[in-house]
Amino acid sequence: MTQDKKFIGFDLGAESGRCVVSKLNENKITLHEVHRFTTHSIKYENGFHWDILAIYKEIIVGLTNAQKAFGSEFDGIGIDTWAVDYVLIDSDGRIIGYPYHYRDDRTDGMMEEAFQIVPKNKIYNKTGIQFAQFNTLFQLLSEKKRKSNLLNATDKMLLIPDFLSYLLSGKKKAEFTNATTTSLVESDTRKWSWELIDAFGLPRKIFPEIVEPGTILGALLPSIAEQTGLNKTIPVIAGASHDTASAVVSVPAIENNPEKGASWAFLSSGTWSLMGIELKQSLLSAQAMEYNFTNEGGVEKTTRFLKNIIGLWPIQECRRYWQGKSKEYSYPELASMAKENGFARSWVDLSDPRFLKAGEMPEKIIAYLKETRQTVKSDIGFIIRVALESLAFSYRNTIKEIESVSGNKIKILHAVGGGIQNELLTQLTADAIGRNVLAGPIEGTIIGNIGVQAIASGAVPDLHAWRMIVANSFELKMYEPKNSSYFDENEANYKNILR
């Protein structure tokens, strides 16, 4: 490969997004950020919403900046975002209301109501998706319960990346990796489960055609091309639009035979932590459901068998809390204070619902420690250390559960994403799981986004070839276990505080 290929990728998270131009040449890729922006949200008395048109405006700015910096010719444009949230549009493409944020409380209690209609085990056996109150299914049921006519007025429900791709291409499709997170896609057929959709009384017409990751939706709309200066022939590609699916594409694993059973696991580390393995089929056992594992869509007909873990959200919320108290700390400063504190010997159950909600996070951590009669200190370093060690214990439990359910022996953990920049957490992870952690690349999600585009355009033959390119392009760091005995000795104590 001698000729440069250029791609534009958008990676949107719960707090911020960025537009990145990637150049591919001689089996190496380079990344060039051209725009970073806030993923705008609005919280007021009647709900917590995404300001989707403000986000769309940032997309246009990103495309314009890409053109100014790298010219008008590109080989693809792709968007990845978080999962489950959606935009409702009518037959003329007009937005019906502000889309809800997955942290809005309108879905409180909706899972229990759903299980009265269709039993929990039947939903899992159909979809293989873990149960979380913010899943699209439960959001739609809340929508139906509160505004019964709204879904009837809807032409299509488009998940966030699908909606943004629609604004660029004019095509209303549902990309598979993100569609699976709705809890309404059959794991075996990779299609909508009309049986579940009918059982829950949801209108069939609102569900768009599902397409596989790497599908070329069409050329950039002429109006967008004119506005940004880009060539109107650039393909808009439905990549692995679920950010975790993109992150897994970036894992520089050399093994290329999932049928034999994965010997490596992945960890996508950020606001959320997603830990799992890549398989060629779903695992729908009663044990998988008991442990609340999810079977989400992957690239090249793979399944991401994983668990959602709350991740760095508590750290982010602690930092926001202290900012509100006029105490400004960077993430490296917080990690340094946690390191100086030493082992906490106190932990919280990060799956407790209180930690999902925004606000007052240090007070919530302290309250939990008091409720469970553990050592409590108000020091900032102590509170952050409690959160980090609790997260490492969560990783330890999850690795053991993966091995138990799948029968695979995990030899190494590949960690990607911004969370690996917290070197204390990455070392604690290696200590907790008792295995080497190969950290990198940091920009895992956008790299995977670009990778699916490169495969779709024919610039790279397949997923394995892309992972070799990733390994050849970025610095990776190996973390070996140093203090596993701490987690071995305290595992029983940790489990005693779990609810």
Mean pLDDT of 219-228: 98
Q: Which of 243, 352, 379, 462 is catalytic?
A: 243
pLDDT of the residue at 135? 97
Report the SS3 class of residue 268.
Answer: strand
Distance in angstroms (rounded) separating the CA atoms of residues 293 and 286: 10
pTM, whole model, 2 decimals?
A: 0.92
Structurally, at CATH architecture level, domain 242-440+476-499 sits in: 2-Layer Sandwich (3.30)
CA 95 to chain centre: 25
**Environment class of residue 377 by beta-carbon count within 10 Å: exposed (0-12), middle (13-18) or buried (19+)?**
middle
First to last CA, the chain: 55
Is domain 5-238 classified as CATH 1.10.3720.10? Answer: no
The tokens describing 70, both together, are 């790298």
Structure tokens at 324: 């509100």
Residue 148: the pLDDT is 66
DSSP state of 359: S
Strand, coil or helix: what is 370?
A: helix
Summary mean pLDDT of the chain: 95
Domain spans in the chain, listed from the N-terminal domain onward: 5-238, 242-440+476-499
Q: Which residues contact 237 (CB under 8 A, 6 or more apart)?
A: 76, 77, 78, 214, 215, 216, 217, 452, 453, 456, 457
243 is catalytic: yes
- Mean pLDDT value across residues 70-93: 97
Q: What percent of the chain has pLDDT over 90?
A: 92
pLDDT band at 149 (very low <50, low <70, confident <90, very high): confident
Spatial contact of 257 and 283, defined as CB atoms under 8 Å apart? no
Counting every residue, how long is the chain? 499
Question: Which two structure tokens, joined as six digits, stand for 89?
Answer: 């549009």
Given strand 294-297, what is the order of strands in its sheet? 294-297, 303-309, 273-279, 264-269, 412-416, 436-439, 477-479
Q: Where residue 258 falls among pLDDT bands split at 50, 70, 90?
A: very low
Q: What is the CA radius of gyration of the chain?
A: 22
- The yes-or-no verdict on residue 356 having pLDDT over 90 is no
* Distance of alpha carbon 401 from alpha carbon 305, whole angstroms: 11
Each residue's pLDDT tens digit, 395-452: 999 999 999 999 999 999 999 999 999 999 999 999 999 999 999 999 999 999 999 9
Residue 350 has pLDDT above 70, yes or no: yes
Cis before residue 441, ω within 30 degrees of 0? yes
**pLDDT value for 262:** 67
